[in-house]
Structure 1
Amino acid sequence: MRRDSRLSRMLHVLIHMDRFGGAMTSDMIARMLDTNPVVVRRTMAGLRDAGYVRSEKGHGGGWVIIRPLSEITFLDIHNALGNPSIFAMGVAVEHPECLVEQAVNAALGSSFDAAEQLLLERFASVTLADLASDVDQRWPTEPDGKWTGPGSIFEHLPKSKDSE
């Protein structure tokens, strides 16, 4: 079964974008995520429409974050992505007249609803700044706050014009 990893991937992208310090093209982001730039543009459009990023045109253009990480929660990004389903599990609907299936679906449905509500409340309490702080503790940084070392996106991408 295919999982929807857009939330995880966009959180990943947004933290890298913040630390990159300049516009990141759809091609750069696509290379980082091992996907197609069209997929990146489509996904980033939801974040743009919600007011978290903007697209800069022309030479040196690309996607930039326009809100501080401290003002963006996991729930904000989840919502900007169209509220993707939290659970891959679901209830059976093959025999809706079956009383056992009805009871199972009622029990599972209320459990799924409660778990989803709890998770969304947690998403609302965690900001991208919280996530970036955790990452910063794991990674050595330059004095300007940009990451260095193995695994850094900066090993594989051209420097932004601001960092030259």
Structure 2
Amino acid sequence: MQLDGRLSRMLHLLIHMDRAEGPVTSAAAAEMLHTNPVVVRRTMAGLRDAGLVRSDKGHAGGWTLIKPLEAVTMLDVYKAVGEPRIFAIGLADAAPHCLVEQAVNASMTNALRRAETMLIAEMANVTLAEIAKDFESRFSSRPANLGNQR
């Protein structure tokens, strides 16, 4: 099963956008994320609709972050990319006749619901500024011979 990397990719891109000296084109973002510009535009449209970025057309156009990193949470971005499925595990049969499987389904459903609630609450507490601060700490403590990893 392929993992959904949209949240991770957009968190990555938004932090780079915060450091950019101007709009970031879909082509530049696609190169950074190892994807194609169409995927970037489609995903960024959700962030634009959520009020996190804006897009400008034309020669000097591209995508611009319109909120400070302190005002954007991981949960905001998660919602903007369409709230992808959090867990890859699920029920073998959603409507089983077997009483054992019914008990298993009830237990798994409750556990997954609680875990998802906790994860979403945690995402609401993590700002992009905190992630950027972690990056800055990692960048400043890296060996000098690694070059610019920004």
Name the TM tier (shorter chain).
Answer: over 0.9
Counterparts of 1:134-153 in structure 2, within 5 Å, are 134-140=134-140, 149-152=147-150
- Give me the whole-angstrom Cα distance separating, in 1, the residues matched to 2:133 and 2:94: 47
Alpha-carbon RMSD: 1.5
**What do residues 93-151 of structure 1 show as CA deviations (whole Å, max 9, x unaligned)?**
176111111111111110000000000000000100111111111124xxxxxxxx432
Residue 59 in structure 1 maps to residue 59 in structure 2: yes
Match of 1:157 in 2: none
Find the residue that maps to 2:82 and give its secondary structure. coil
- Give me the whole-angstrom Cα distance separating, in 1, the residues matched to 2:29 and 2:93: 40
Match of 1:103 in 2: 103
Q: How many equivalent residue pairs?
A: 145
Gaps of 5+ in 2: 141-146
- Give me the whole-angstrom Cα distance separating, in 1, the residues matched to 2:59 and 2:138: 33
Match of 2:143 in 1: none
- Give me the whole-angstrom Cα distance separating, in 2, the residues matched to 1:105 and 1:82: 26
Gaps of 5+ in 1: 141-148, 153-164
Match of 2:88 in 1: 88
TM-aligned CA distance change 1:41 to 1:106, over 3 Å: same
Moved over 2 A (4+): 149-152
Does 1 or 2 have the higher relative contact order (CA < 8 Å, sep 6+)? 1
What letter is aligned with 1:51?
G
Match of 1:77 in 2: 77
Match of 1:12 in 2: 12
TM-aligned CA distance change 1:127 to 1:95, over 3 Å: closer
**With structure 1 as the length reference, what TM-score do the two structures score?**
0.84
Find the residue that maps to 2:64 and give its secondary structure. strand
- What percent of counterpart residues are identical? 58
What letter is aligned with 2:24?
M
Match of 2:118 in 1: 118
Does the 8 Å contact 2:71/2:127 carry over to 1?
Answer: yes
